[in-house]
C-alpha cells in the first residue's frame, strides 16, 4: 500500500505558472456555423440598405393589378415597365417604397402597393490578422462582423479580442471590444458589413491571469492602466470563501526577476497601495480562507479519523490521538512525526514515541501549538518490502512478496509452475548473507514438487533467488521449411537431435522429376545473427582507409552499406551429398533453416558486357568461352580478366580460374564492364567485398564443422 502524501495546514502559495488556465473569450467561436449566421427567413431590419443583387417583390392591386420581381443591377437600379429605371441602391425598404409610389403615380391612379425583400444578395468581405483562417469570404448581406469572424475561425492564440478593427474604404469605422458582448451581452458593436469591408484582428495586448477564489479564473487581456479590482470584476468577482486580506500578485520586476506582492483588498475602499495597477504578465492569486484556519491542529496519516481539530487549552499529543483510540491495528507506534510551524513560517520536526505516551511518559507528550501537525505511519510504510525471486523455466518469472513460512513450492506456484522443459533434478537457491558471499543451495525439484518431500521443499528466507534451469539441448517448437520441387513441401518439426539434411529429404517424400538439386538454396538466418554478434561492421570500419574527395572531405565509409543478409546461405555440394551420407555437406539442421529446390533450368545465363545477354542452351563439356561466344562475344568495354562464374549451388569463381571451369546446367557467367577511372573508394569497395567474401567463407566452414 502506498502511503498518502501528507500536507501541513499552511496557506497554499500562488501557482508559479498559469497551468491549465485559458484565455477568456477564445471559445466564443468554437460553436457550429449557425451560431452567428443570420436567419434568412427573418424580416430584415428597418435600416437594411438595398444594394446590387437584392431581389425585391412588388405587388400592385386596385385599378392596376401587377406582380413584379425586381433585381437590383450593378448600377443600383431596377427597371419597371412603362415607368422605366428607378435607383434603389442605398435605400431602405421604406424609402424604396416611397420612391416607387412616386414613380408609379405618374402613370397609375387608385392602387395599393406592397414591397418585400425576396432573395438577399451576397457580399465579399475580408478577415485578416491574428485569426485561424484568414482570407476573403462570401457571405449574406445580412451577416454581421461576428459572422465574418466565425467564418475565419475566430482569433488565434495571439489575437486580440479587445481592439478588433472594422475597416471600410481604408478607413477605420469602429474598434470593437468583444468583452462588452461577452461580459454584459452588449450587441451594439455587431455591425452589418458591406461588400469589400475588412475585419482586422491585431496582436493581443497585455495579459494578466487570475487563479484561486475567483468566479471565472482565466487569462484576461487588458488595455493598460486597469487595477487589481478591475481584474476581479472581469473574473466575475470573488467567491464566498475568498480571503481578500492576502491577495498575491506575482510580477516580473524591472531586472528580469519575479517578485511577489501581497495586498489587502478586504476593505470597501481601496487605496493606491492595495489596489495595484496591473502590468503585462501579472499573475494574481486569491487564496481561500479555509487554507488559513487559525487555532487548529492536524492529525494525518495511518489513523481512524484524519483531519483538522480545534486547539484547546493545554492540549497535548495524547489528547490528539485520544490516548491511542485514533490508532489503527497496524499503526507504527515507535515513532510519529510532529511538524511545527512558527509564526515566521520556519518549521521544525519532533520525533514522538506513541508507545511511551500511551504508557504515561510525559517526555514525548508535547504541548501542542497552533498549526501543529502530527503524522502517524503504518507498519508497512516503515518496513522495507520483503521479497523473493524466481527465474528460468517457469511460466511467470519475477519478484514476489515474501511471507513467513514460505517454502520453495509456494514460490514456484506463484510463478505459474515450472515449464515442460524445466530440469527438475537440479535447481539452485541463491541465499544472501549480509557481508558474506551468497550461499548456493541445490534442490531436487522432482522430489520437492512431485513426491512432496517436505525435507526437499526448502523453507525460503527473505531475498532468496531461485533458478530453475532448462533441460540441456531441449528442442521445443523447432522446425525447418522446405519448398520447391519436392513431393510434400512445408514445415517439418525437428524430432531428434542432430537431424541432418538427408533425413529431411527422406521425410518430405523425395523430389519431383523437374527438381534441380544442384541449384538447391540453403538459408540459415542464424548465421547473420552470429556475424552481427562478432561486430563485423565495426571491425571493417576500423580497418577501412579514409578516402577524401576533391575538396579534402572524407567520403562515407562503405561498410555502412554492407548487407549482411548475403552471408546467410550455406553452399551445399549435392553431388558429394548424394554419393556419401557422411559427407560434410549432410549438415545438421537447425531451427528456422530454409531449403528451396528450384525447377530445372533451360540453359546457362550469360550476363554483362556481351553482345546479347541471355540464356544459352546447355551443352556438356563446354568452357565459359563457348557460351560467351554464343552470346555474341565480348563488347569493347568488357573486363575480360574479371569474368565471374556463379555455379548453381552458389559457389563463385573469378578471373582465369573461372574461364577454366567446365560449365554445368544452371550456371551463370557474368562479364563485368571496365571502369574508365579507378578511384580510391572503388579499391576500398573491392577490398571490403573481398573481406566480406572471406567472412562468408569462414562462417560457411565453421558452420559445416559444427
Query: Residue 674 has what pLDDT?
Result: 84
Query: Residue 648 has what pLDDT?
Result: 83
Q: What is the mean pLDDT of residues 49-55?
A: 84
Closest CA to 693 of 651, 660, 657: 651
Q: Which of 351, 382, 413 is the last residue of a domain?
A: 382
Average pLDDT, the chain: 81
345, part of any domain: yes
Q: What is the mean pLDDT of residues 504-523?
A: 88
Which residues are within 8 A (CB) of 403 and not within 5 positions of it... i.e. 6 or more apart? Answer: 410
- Same domain? 101 vs 132: no
CB-based burial, 281-320: b 16+ in 10 Å, e otherwise: ebbbbbbeeeeeeeeebbbbbbbeebeeeebeeebebbbb
CA distance 554 to 139: 62
- Same domain? 250 vs 280: yes
Q: Which of 242, 262, 290 is the last residue of a domain?
A: 290
- Same domain? 366 vs 412: no
Residue where the block lists cell 510551524 = 341
CA 376 to chain centre: 41
- Same domain? 89 vs 128: no
Local confidence band at 697 (pLDDT 50, 70, 90 cut-offs)? very low
- Bridge partners (DSSP) of residue 349 are 339
Q: Which of 427, 444, 468 is the last residue of a domain?
A: 468
Query: Residue 547 has what pLDDT?
Result: 62
Q: What is the mean pLDDT of residues 427-454?
A: 80
Contact present, 161 and 145 (Cβ < 8 Å):
no
- Same domain? 298 vs 372: yes
Q: What is the mean pLDDT of residues 69-78?
A: 87
Residue where the block lists cell 549435392 = 574
CA distance 276 to 230: 10
Local confidence band at 133 (pLDDT 50, 70, 90 cut-offs)? very high
602, part of any domain: no
CATH of the domain at 104: 3.30.1950.10
473, part of any domain: no
- Same domain? 299 vs 277: no
Closest CA to 427 of 407, 412, 441, 416: 441
562, part of any domain: no
Please state which of the ranges 15-24, 137-146, 337-346, 418-427 shows the lowest mean pLDDT.
15-24
pLDDT in tens, 278-324: 999 899 999 887 766 678 899 998 899 998 888 888 899 999 998 77
Which span out of 81-90, 203-212, 590-599, 669-678 was modeled with the highest average pLDDT? 203-212
Q: What is the mean pLDDT of residues 97-102?
A: 88
Question: Strand 668-671 vs strand 603-608: parallel, antiparallel, or unpaired?
Answer: parallel
Residue 103 pLDDT greater than 80, yes or no: yes
Query: Residue 563 has what pLDDT?
Result: 59
Q: What is the mean pLDDT of residues 589-594?
A: 87
Q: Is pLDDT larger for residue 648 or for residue 532? A: 648
pLDDT in tens, 659-690: 888 888 888 999 998 875 545 444 444 444 44
Closest CA to 699 of 539, 538, 527, 533: 527
Residue 1 pLDDT greater than 50, yes or no: no
What is the percent of the chain where pLDDT is above 90? 20
Helices (H) and strands (E) in the chain, counts: 16, 34
263, part of any domain: yes
Residue 551 pLDDT greater than 80, yes or no: no
Domain span including residue 311: 293-382
Residue 706 pLDDT greater than 50, yes or no: no
Local confidence band at 702 (pLDDT 50, 70, 90 cut-offs)? very low
Q: Is pLDDT larger for residue 669 or for residue 651? A: 669
Query: Residue 695 has what pLDDT?
Result: 44
Which span out of 265-274, 457-466, 650-659 was modeled with the highest average pLDDT? 457-466
- Same domain? 285 vs 298: no
CATH of the domain at 261: 3.10.560.10
Q: What is the mean pLDDT of residues 623-634?
A: 89
pLDDT in tens, 333-349: 899 999 998 887 788 99
35, part of any domain: no
Query: Residue 656 has what pLDDT?
Result: 82
Please state which of the ranges 180-189, 261-270, 543-552 shows the lowest mean pLDDT.
543-552
687: exposed, middle or buried (C-beta count within 10 Å: 0-12, 13-18, 19+)? Answer: middle
- Same domain? 85 vs 96: yes
Query: Residue 631 has what pLDDT?
Result: 87
- Same domain? 219 vs 262: yes
Local confidence band at 109 (pLDDT 50, 70, 90 cut-offs)? confident
555, part of any domain: no
CA distance 503 to 595: 13
- Same domain? 270 vs 309: no
How many degrees, rounded to 5, is the angle at CA 513 between CA 510 and CA 514? 110
Q: Global pTM?
A: 0.42
623-631 LR contacts (CB < 8 Å, sep 24+): 623/659, 623/660, 623/661, 623/662, 623/663, 624/658, 624/659, 624/661, 624/663, 624/669, 625/659, 626/663, 627/663, 627/669, 628/669, 628/671, 630/606, 631/606
* Count of domains forming the chain: 5
642, part of any domain: no
Query: Residue 2 has what pLDDT?
Result: 34
- Same domain? 371 vs 415: no
- Same domain? 354 vs 391: no
CA distances from 580 to 356, 417, 577 (A): 91, 47, 5
Amino acid at each position: 500500500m502506498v502511503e498518502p502524501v501528507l500536507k501541513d495546514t499552511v496557506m497554499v502559495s500562488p501557482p508559479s505558472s498559469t497551468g491549465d488556465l485559458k484565455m477568456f473569450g477564445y471559445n466564443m467561436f468554437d460553436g457550429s456555423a449557425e451560431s452567428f449566421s443570420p436567419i434568412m427567413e427573418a424580416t430584415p431590419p428597418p435600416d437594411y440598405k438595398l444594394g446590387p443583387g437584392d431581389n425585391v417583390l412588388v405587388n400592385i392591386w386596385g385599378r392596376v393589378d401587377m406582380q413584379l420581381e425586381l433585381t437590383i443591377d450593378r448600377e443600383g437600379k431596377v427597371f419597371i415597365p412603362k415607368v422605366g429605371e428607378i435607383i434603389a441602391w442605398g435605400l431602405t425598404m421604406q424609402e424604396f417604397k416611397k420612391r416607387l409610389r412616386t414613380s408609379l403615380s405618374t402613370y397609375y391612379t387608385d392602387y395599393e402597393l406592397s414591397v418585400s425583400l425576396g432573395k438577399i444578395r451576397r457580399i465579399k468581405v475580408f478577415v485578416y490578422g491574428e485569426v485561424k483562417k484568414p482570407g476573403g469570404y462570401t457571405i449574406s448581406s445580412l451577416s454581421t462582423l461576428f459572422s465574418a469572424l466565425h467564418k475565419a475561425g475566430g482569433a488565434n492564440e495571439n489575437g486580440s479580442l479587445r481592439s478588433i478593427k472594422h475597416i471600410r474604404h481604408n478607413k477605420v469605422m469602429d474598434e470593437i471590444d468583444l468583452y462588452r458582448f461577452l461580459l454584459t451581452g452588449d450587441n451594439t458593436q455587431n455591425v452589418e458589413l458591406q461588400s469589400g469591408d475588412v475585419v482586422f484582428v491585431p496582436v493581443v495586448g497585455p495579459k494578466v491571469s487570475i487563479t484561486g477564489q475567483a468566479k471565472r479564473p482565466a487569462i484576461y487581456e487588458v488595455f493598460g492602466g486597469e487595477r487589481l479590482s478591475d481584474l476581479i470584476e472581469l473574473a466575475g468577482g470573488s467567491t464566498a470563501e475568498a480571503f481578500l486580506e492576502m491577495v498575491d500578485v506575482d510580477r516580473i520586476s524591472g531586472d528580469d526577476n519575479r517578485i511577489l506582492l501581497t495586498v489587502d483588498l478586504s476593505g470597501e475602499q481601496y487605496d493606491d497601495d492595495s489596489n495595484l495597477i496591473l502590468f503585462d504578465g501579472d499573475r494574481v492569486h486569491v487564496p481561500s480562507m479555509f487554507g488559513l484556519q487559525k487555532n487548529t491542529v492536524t492529525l494525518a496519516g495511518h489513523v481512524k479519523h484524519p483531519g483538522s481539530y480545534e486547539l484547546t487549552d493545554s492540549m497535548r499529543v495524547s489528547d490528539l490521538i485520544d490516548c491511542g483510540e485514533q490508532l489503527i491495528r497496524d499503526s507504527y507506534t515507535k515513532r510519529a512525526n510532529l511538524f511545527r510551524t512558527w509564526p515566521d513560517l520556519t518549521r521544525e520536526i519532533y520525533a514522538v514515541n506513541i508507545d511511551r505516551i500511551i504508557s504515561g511518559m510525559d517526555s514525548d507528550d508535547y504541548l501542542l501549538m497552533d498549526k501543529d501537525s502530527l503524522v502517524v505511519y503504518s507498519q508497512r510504510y516503515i518496513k522495507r518490502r520483503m521479497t523473493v525471486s524466481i527465474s528460468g523455466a517457469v511460466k511467470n518469472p519475477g519478484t514476489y512478496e515474501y511471507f513467513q513460512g514460505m517454502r520453495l513450492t509456494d514460490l514456484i506456484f506463484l510463478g505459474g509452475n515450472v515449464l515442460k522443459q524445466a530440469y527438475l533434478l537440479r535447481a539452485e537457491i541463491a541465499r544472501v548473507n549480509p557481508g558474506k558471499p551468497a550461499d548456493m543451495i541445490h534442490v531436487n525439484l522432482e522430489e520437492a514438487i512431485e513426491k512432496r518431500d517436505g525435507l526437499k521443499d526448502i523453507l525460503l528466507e527473505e531475498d532468496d533467488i531461485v533458478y530453475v534451469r532448462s533441460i540441456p539441448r531441449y528442442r521445443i517448437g523447432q522446425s525447418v521449411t522446405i519448398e520447391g520441387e519436392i513431393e510434400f513441401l512445408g514445415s517439418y518439426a525437428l524430432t531428434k537431435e542432430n537431424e541432418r539434411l538427408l533425413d529431411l529429404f527422406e521425410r518430405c517424400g523425395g523430389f519431383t522429376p523437374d527438381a534441380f538439386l544442384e541449384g538447391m538454396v540453403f538459408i540459415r538466418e542464424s548465421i547473420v545473427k552470429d556475424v552481427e554478434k562478432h561486430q563485423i561492421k565495426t571491425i571493417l570500419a576500423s580497418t577501412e582507409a579514409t578516402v577524401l574527395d576533391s575538396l579534402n572531405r572524407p567520403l562515407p565509409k562503405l561498410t555502412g552499406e554492407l548487407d549482411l543478409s548475403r552471408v546467410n546461405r550455406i553452399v551445399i555440394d549435392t553431388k558429394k551429398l548424394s554419393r556419401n551420407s557422411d559427407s560434410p555437406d549432410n549438415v545438421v539442421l537447425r531451427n528456422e533453416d530454409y531449403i528451396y529446390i528450384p525447377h530445372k533450368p533451360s540453359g546457362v545465363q550469360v550476363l554483362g558486357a556481351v553482345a546479347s545477354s541471355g540464356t544459352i542452351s546447355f551443352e556438356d563439356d563446354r568452357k565459359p568461352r563457348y557460351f560467351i561466344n554464343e552470346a555474341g562475344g565480348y563488347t569493347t568495354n568488357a573486363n575480360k580478366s574479371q569474368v565471374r562464374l556463379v555455379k548453381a549451388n552458389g559457389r563463385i569463381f573469378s578471373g582465369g580460374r573461372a574461364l577454366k571451369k567446365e560449365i554445368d546446367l544452371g550456371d551463370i557467367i557474368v562479364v563485368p564492364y571496365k571502369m574508365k577511372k579507378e578511384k580510391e573508394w572503388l579499391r576500398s569497395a573491392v577490398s571490403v567485398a573481398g573481406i566480406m567474401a572471406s567472412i562468408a567463407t569462414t562462417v560457411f566452414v565453421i558452420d559445416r564443422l559444427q
